[in-house]
Amino acid sequence: MTYGRAPVVRCLGVPSVAPMRVLVTGGAGFIGSHVVEALTARGHEAVVFDVREDPGADVRDPAAVARALAGVDAVCHQAAMVGLGNGVLDAAEYVSHNDLGTAVLLAAMAEAGVRRLVLAGSMVVYGEGRYDCPRHGGVRPGPRAVSDLDAGRFEPPCPVCGEDLAPGLVDEDAPADPRNVYATTKLAQEHLAAAWARCTGGSAVTLRYHNVYGPGMPRDTPYAGVASFFRSALARGEAPRVFEDGRQRRDFVHVRDVAAANVSALEAASPSGALTAYNTGSGDPHTVGDMARALAAASGGPEPVVTGEYRLGDVRHITADSSRLREALGWKPEVGFEEGVAEFARAGMRDA
């Protein structure tokens, strides 16, 4: 079996560590392909392991993973089923791809002696973001009631007094509270990575991505992000459909900035025997409605339509405090919202 291998490209700004041979699972996907480009630009050798390029490159296949790990110095694990999907109907597929696949990979890494891992984590592990009540300070609202959502009451109330809350930035020390199947599998991936690090003395980093967007997003799929839904609609000449009231706060971060964060994490000297978590966001929150309007304006398409619909398992507000990543690894986002959206409005999309 052969695996795609990106050519090594030398550039100015070489890494402070020796060039590495890095296995990128999901390396032909949306984020993974950008990670491969970023690694190559830094002088590393990226080995692509992805079913899109080779149907036999399944991260759940121990033999295939073991062969792919030959001569590898580190792993950047991007392969996963993503998005909210179809409720619990596809729960088995999520668990199989995300959790079984990660377990197989980690076992093979332990056997092969590969001791450096960067995991594509997600902000979904937090559930709702941080909220402050004027009377009770920081609170953690529970899942929103269907009756409230049906009535168009989208903001979660204070769980103590029922008053309105002010959303804020969530940091890595916030307790996990996954609200859907995908979120549950992403948290399980982190626990598996932490167990691997403790057992092997390896270093593991999870980058908790916020809402990643940019060139190469998949089109027309229930597993893509909201920016992809809007972009796909505009490409068909249709108005983007904005759920709830469009005021949901998110941290939209450009895919090239996320790829750069992966390279920074791979090159950093991370603690051995432990998992380190970093939020990976732009630090510039916008609403879902903002993204829809900005994309429509940049593409010259129809104005968004706010529908009032909702999806169970969605959270109201989740925005990142990414200061730990900036301070520890020297990473910072380079692509601003206006610039990134203008590019994304013109960029091509992938079919899967």
Positions annotated as catalytic residues are 182
Can you read off the two tokens belonging to residue 246? 């469009």
Contact of 274 with 198, CB cutoff 8 Å: yes
Spatial distance between the Cα atoms of 167 and 154, rounded to a whole number of angstroms: 13
Bridge partners of residue 287, in order along the sequence: 249
Q: What DSSP string describes 159-208?
A: TTT----EEEEE-TTSPP---SHHHHHHHHHHHHHHHHHHHH--EEEEEE
Contact of 29 with 78, CB cutoff 8 Å: yes
β-pairing, 130-133 with 137-139?
antiparallel
The region that residue 243 occupies, defined by phi over 0 for left and psi between -120 and 50 for alpha, beta otherwise, is beta
User: Rounded to the nearest 5 degrees, what angle is found at the Cα of 149, between the Cα atoms of 165 and 241?
Assistant: 105
Q: What DSSP string describes 73-105?
A: SEEEE-----S--STTTTHHHHIIIIIIHHHHH
User: Rounded to the nearest 5 degrees, what angle is found at the Cα of 108, between the Cα atoms of 105 and 112?
Assistant: 135
Phi/psi at 77 (nearest 5 deg)? -95, 100
Spatial distance between the Cα atoms of 119 and 123, rounded to a whole number of angstroms: 13
